[in-house]
Structure 1
Amino acid sequence: MQRMPNAIQLTELTHDDLLALYAYPAGPAEPWIRVNFVSSIDGAVSVDGRSGGLGTPADKKVFRILRDLADVVVVGAGTARAENYGAAHTDSQLRIRLHHHGFGGDAAGAPPRIAVVTATATLDPSSRLFTDTGARPIILTTAAAPEDRKAALTAAGGQVIEAGDTSVTAGGLRKALEELGMRRVLCEGGPALFGDLIVAEAVDELCLTLSPMLVAGTERRIAMSPNAMPTPMTCRHLIFDQDGTILTRWVRPHTL
């Protein structure tokens, strides 16, 4: 049987090979939104409400690489709460090297900032997001969110940005990140945020890990929205690990 030309064994790749495979386009002219998810082979996005139960060594390796490459990590408030998000911690020397090679990273080695999307500014100012040592978190919220909540998140150290009137729109999110100079965007969920981005035709690529397990139960899909938006994608690569994990990367054809 002939192997697919874009199918690779993980054992054949060095760390630098993986960095090259997942590098953002050189010097993107506008925010490039990459979404990263892990799913079971029967489509579950989590186990008992958390994605960590699906993680494999290969998935965790790519998770770290994607953060090393990004300017900002965007996540929905529900996922930030469920996964107990704190600041992103990356390899500063690698970030500098990535920047010099035009792959991403940061000239000074600073880690990517965490940006949380919450229409109502419903976050706990005492959570790890604000107390963990690291870059100042960004809170993408709305003009309609209660002023006292926004004030509390600002006092806790967050940079609060209104990115919509009553909801955080994809356009508002992109505009806010563009104004901050953040063009290499990594979205880590959750399903509702991913669904909103799909419907808005704002997803440039998806990095999806298939975890070699069945889950069943009532777990959600990786993307959910009130309306369907069929979006053709082109497979850039499939990477197979010895434990059955499959690492995939899909890009919208018009962004190629």
Structure 2
Amino acid sequence: MGVAGSGAGVAGPDGGVVGGGADAVGSAGADAGSAEAAGGYGGSGGSEGSERSERSAEAGPWLRANMVSTLDGAAQHDGRSQPISCAADMRIFGTLRGLADVVIVGAETVRQEGYRPARARDDFAARRAAAGQGPAPAIAVVSASLDLDFSLPLFTSPLLPTLLLTGAAAAPDRIAAAEKAGARVVIAGDGTGVDPVRAVRALADLGLYRLLTEGGPRLLGQLVAADVLDELCLTVSPMLTAGDAQRIAGGPSLAVPKRFELASLLEEAGFLFSRYRRT
């Protein structure tokens, strides 16, 4: 059974829209229109959806997070998110990447999940070309130490050079190793760490306005604390894991909880696919 959602839906693998529209009621596998309707998923939704999906220097960057969580709050099982995901969740994962200029990810997530370069998808080729985007989003890895395996495909064979967001105090030998591997190092902090506000600004300075982060929890916590997150796409998995797995966002708690508003909600096979945006 589906759930009515506000705002546009998500494009499915056949180019149709999954669920979407202010009056849409359907499962996450339903086709509710053309791929162009997925533009509303590009930002704040509603009447602003088209504007938000076509980011520009005037509009400024829009940072979206895409995460999955079990019923008891686990963002991972055995260190990976795949065991708590599903096919519809992966379709949304691919769609959000298809709309993004850049995917921001933490170094530990790169290590744990075996990150690979984003691939070009035929379903989004025309849309990306019309929006002035490259064939696939760049991957931007946030790392203070730059302790990464630069022989991985993420660095050796991306469609676009992988970006490394780091601080000004990063070890010069690691910067040199990254650049030798073909990565582009972007300084976004005065010390060893990365300042989320400066990171968002630095990516926008490179012409990357449609920002997507896939975590991990530590990085998402930092983005939330810095108040740079505009939207959260959260899949709630109908699973219980117990244990001590991380939540979707980690780090120190906020003095005052940040309130987001529900923009859309879809369901398939017990999985809930929600989209929240800043109020």
Q: Same fold (TM over 0.5)?
A: yes
Q: How far apart in 2 are the matches of 1:163 and 1:5?
A: 37
Q: How far apart in 2 are the matches of 1:5 and 1:154?
A: 45
SS in 1 for 2:42: coil
Q: Check conservation: 1:37, 1:189, Cα contact below 8 A.
A: yes
Q: How far apart in 2 are the matches of 1:109 and 1:150?
A: 25
Quick check: 1:171 aligned with 2:190? no
Q: How far apart in 1 are the matches of 2:147 and 2:30?
A: 45
Task: Give the share of equivalent positions with the same residue, in percent.
Answer: 40
Q: How far apart in 1 are the matches of 2:114 and 2:209?
A: 25
Which residue pairs with 1:13 in the alignment?
Answer: 31
Which residue pairs with 2:101 in the alignment?
Answer: 71
| Higher RCO (C-alpha 8 Å, min separation 6) | 1
Measured at CA, do residues 93 and 45 of structure 1 come closer, stay the same or move farther in structure 2, by a change above 3 Å?
closer
Letter in 1 for 2:259: P
How far residue 97 of structure 1 moved from its aligned partner, in angstroms, is 2.4
Question: What TM-score do the two structures reach when normalised by structure 2?
Answer: 0.82
**221-230 or 73-82, larger mean C-alpha shift:** 221-230
Measured at CA, do residues 244 and 17 of structure 1 come closer, stay the same or move farther in structure 2, by a change above 3 Å?
farther
RMSD across aligned positions (CA): 1.9
State how many pairs are aligned: 245
Measured at CA, do residues 136 and 92 of structure 1 come closer, stay the same or move farther in structure 2, by a change above 3 Å?
farther
SS in 1 for 2:75: coil
Q: How far apart in 2 are the matches of 1:157 and 1:203?
A: 29
Task: Tell me which of 237, 248, 256 is aligned to 1:211.
Answer: 237
Which ranges of structure 2 fall in alignment gaps of 5 or more residues?
7-23, 44-51
**63-72 or 226-235, larger mean C-alpha shift:** 226-235
Which ranges of structure 1 fall in alignment gaps of 5 or more residues?
101-105
Which residue pairs with 2:16 in the alignment?
Answer: none
Quick check: 1:162 aligned with 2:180? no
Q: How far apart in 1 are the matches of 2:162 and 2:135?
A: 13
Measured at CA, do residues 63 and 189 of structure 1 come closer, stay the same or move farther in structure 2, by a change above 3 Å?
same
How far residue 26 of structure 1 moved from its aligned partner, in angstroms, is 4.0
Letter in 2 for 1:231: K
Task: Tell me which of 199, 203, 217 is aligned to 1:191.
Answer: 217
Q: How far apart in 2 are the matches of 1:201 and 1:19?
A: 26
SS in 2 for 1:22: helix
Question: What TM-score do the two structures reach when normalised by structure 1?
Answer: 0.89
Task: Tell me which of 41, 47, 54 is aligned to 2:84.
Answer: 54
**42-51 or 22-31, larger mean C-alpha shift:** 22-31
